[in-house]
Structure 1
Amino acid sequence: MPLTQQNNQEKQLLQKLRPSRIVLPVLIGLSVVGFMFWRSYRPGDLAPLAHAKLHWLLLMVAVLLARDLGYIYRIRHIAERALSWRASLDVIMLWEFASCVLPSAAGGTSVAPFILNKEGISLGKSLAYVMVTALLDNLYYVITVPLVVLLAGNALYPHEVLQGGLITTLRVAFVLSYISVSLYAGLMLYALFINPLAVKRLMVRLFSIPGLRRWRPKAYQHGNEMVWASAQLRGNGPVYWLRAALSTAFVWTARYAVIGCIIAAFVEVSASEFALIFGRNLTYKVILLIAITPGGAGIAEGAFPTFFGKFIGTPTMTNFIVLLYRIVTYYLYLVLGAIFLPRWITRVFGHKAAPDEATAALR
């Protein structure tokens, strides 16, 4: 890669991750929660806080730690131990930070290859490892959704809040989301393990159609990335894929279990209700996937009562729980990212060799 192009990409990466980006999502999210509290608060609504179940709160912390440790293990394993444990921690913290400060559609995946590349992994392998994580994440969704639908049925959708056209719209969005994720996962499987050149040609031809030509360069680039990734991943044995798949299932199951742990800490929740809360995370995710704000800020908070309010009770308690949920799964990673980023920049660029854009990213 030409040095000028590499410097430009590094500059763009650091601009995307600059700590000042945390201000907007925090303002949006807290403003929405503040408005929700103002609209719903009644004296006495927060009485359940006095009877919080400590064991559920400790379990929530344990689940969060287990999830992050699972992510750290997974990226180190997928990267074939090219990363140290320290580097794996930095990568995950920056990846989570990027997911928080960028729109959900882009997420941390868009900058992850360059983070890995700065850790000394070639760009081809970096792209391959990120594509493996994306493929496994999508496959978890593809496999889990039918199981949850089979068990939960219509209870998967918040009929108690949404009626008529709104519930139909949510169902359609959920089905379309599942179909698109399934097709993309299938395309990635075929491209990575069977015929990457055929997929590349298909993508270029598809985006040569009038009306889609503006995305043709991106399609060409993505096709090249699939070819590179395929070349890097061939030869990995079944143990490699089994560990990668199991760690993916572990981290996503932990991720979806957090809301249930928080609700159970303040409200009596049966085993079937806990399972239903877990399932509703899948429909809740659809809203977050289409969110245009950084990390879904404001949209995640506003949609939360629709999906989980029935399990909690009063709107005020629901607002408190959504605030706690976003603190431990979103705002916490904004803070951690702002702490880890300057240290990471110093480590990978060096005190003296750091480029101007690295220094600018700290402002």
Structure 2
Amino acid sequence: MPEFPNTQSEDQQLLDKLRPSRIVLPVLIGLGVVAFMFWRSYRPGDLAPLANAKPWWLLVTVAILLARDAGYVYRIRYLTEKALSWRASLDVIMLWEFSSCILPSAVGGTAVAPVLLHKEGIPLGKSVAYIMATAMLDNMYYVLMVPLVVVIGGETLYPHEALQGGLITALRIGFVVSYVFVTAYALLMVYAIFINPSAVKRLLVRLFSVRMLRRFRGRAYKLGNELVLASAQLRGNGAAYWLRAALSTAFVWTARYLVIGCLIGAFIDVGWTEFWLIFGRNLTYKVILLIAITPGGAGVAEGAFPTFFGKFIGTATMTNFMVLLYRIVTYYLYLVLGAVFLPRWITRIYGKRKAQELMHS
């Protein structure tokens, strides 16, 4: 793949994807949905559990959020073989999270992340390889964790108390289909990176040469080239490299899925059985977020939350409060942090004068 030309127009395209004004739409959608939910079900007495907040659980929640972000910073620094400093790693993760919040869920921050690494001085080929490695590891975590939670939770992973008949069947089918798709994609990436990238490239090109899929052939060809490039960059790394990457991936995703249970436990008495069931339901909740077309799943995440977790919280009003709190610490917080980190990063990468030109062009 050719190097990414350092032209003002392409720099402007990056900044256009990250411009702070993109915050407005997801905030309006998300808060609008929560406001409607409160308006529909608000009862003052239902918020009584707030007076019994458990400081210990709140501290645990904060610790998990900090540990998760620290884990992401650690992972990107060591995946890039320490080409990034700790400060650069923090900037990249904050902007990656920010882009995930302001771009549609299907796109996420993956579209921006290779360019962020490239602007930090890593060749674009290596940048793409490192981001593909993170995607492979993230998918493998999901592939390995789903059978575990299904064995433990079984049918309780589905919100039978909130969905009936055709809806629960549709969710079950969606969960299975998404798992099969993620598994196939993850195994394809593993085979391409570690075994035979050229064969996978040929397979993709042939598959997308079929009449119905022909319009996607260009993207398939590009993905094939990226897999070949990623294999060349990553195949020589030793077992210690991949063990460290895998453990840090397991750490950050486990922390990510623990947040909801910790927040609920801070206000509602939750047993360990229920706590781990909440953890497992995160995996079925994710199916809804995967198909969301709004920036960062705004509106969809808020609307679906009571269906999956309302059972553990109690009243609709208290559930709506938990929705708002959960989105504040896992979504709106990163919108704010992104808006803070972005100008600093632009100034550090481009210099003050050029940063001003880019921001005002």
Structure 1 and Structure 2 fold alike (TM over 0.5): yes
Provide closer, same or farther for how the CA distance between residues 263 and 202 of structure 1 changes in structure 2, counting only shifts above 3 A. same
Unaligned runs of 5+ in 2: none
TM-align CA RMSD:
1.3
Give the letter aligned to residue 331 of structure 1. Answer: Y
Q: Distance in 2 between matches of 1:159 and 1:224?
A: 44
1:87 aligns with 2:74: no
Matched to 2:32, the amino acid is S
Q: 1:350 maps to which residue?
A: 351
Q: How does 1:1-363 map to 2 (within 5 A)?
A: 1=2, 7-354=8-355, 356=357, 358-360=358-360
Does structure 1 retain, via aligned residues, the 8 Å contact 2:3–2:124? no
Aligned AA (1:359): M
- C-alpha separation between the residues in 1 aligned to 2:76 and 2:6? 26
The separation in 1 between residues aligned to 2:188 and 2:360, in whole angstroms, is: 39
The number of aligned residues is 360
Between the aligned partners of 2:8 and 2:170, the Cα distance in structure 1 is 44
Which amino acid is 1:281 matched to? N
CA shift in 2, pair 1:2/1:241, >3 Å: closer
1:353 is displaced (CA, Å) by 3.8
1:207: how far off?
Answer: 1.2
The one-letter amino acid of 2:231's match is S
Cα distance per residue 1:107-144 (max 9 Å; x no partner): 00111000000000000100010001000000000000
Displacement after TM superposition at 1:349 (Å):
1.0
Tell me the percent identity: 73
Q: 1:4 to 1:118 in 2, by over 3 A?
A: closer
Quick check: 1:262–1:325 contact (8 Å CA) kept in 2? yes
- Mapped partners of 1:288, 1:74: distance in 2: 24
Moved more, 199-208 or 89-98: 199-208
How far does residue 350 in structure 1 lie from its aligned partner after superposition? 1.3
AA in 2 matched with 1:341 = L
Q: d(CA) in 2 for partners of 1:5 and 1:50? A: 55
Q: Is the 8 A contact 2:157 2:280 kept in 1?
A: yes
Deviation at 1:5, TM superposition (A): 8.0
Give the match's secondary structure for 1:293.
coil
CA distance in 2, matches of 1:9, 1:180: 33
* Offset of residue 10 of structure 1: 2.8
Q: Are 2:96 and 2:109, in contact at CA under 8 Å, matched by a contact in 1? A: yes
For 1:37, give the aligned amino acid. F
Partner Cα distance (1:206, 1:6) in 2: 35
Change (3 A) 1:286 1:360: farther
Check whether the contact 1:192–1:227 (CA below 8 A) recurs between aligned residues.
yes
Q: Deviations over 1:183-235 (max 9, x none)?
A: 00000001111111111111111111112121111111111111111111121
Give the conservation status (yes or no) of the 8 Å contact 2:4–2:124: no
The normalised TM-score by structure 2 is: 0.97
Displacement of 1:355: 8.0
Which stretches in structure 1 are left out of the alignment for 5+ residues?
A: none
Q: Cα deviations across residues 154-182 of structure 1 (Å, max 9, x unaligned)?
A: 00000001010000000000000000000
Q: TM-score by structure 1 length? A: 0.97
SS of residue matched to 1:291: coil
Contact kept, 8 Å, 1:349 with 1:355, in 2: the verdict is no
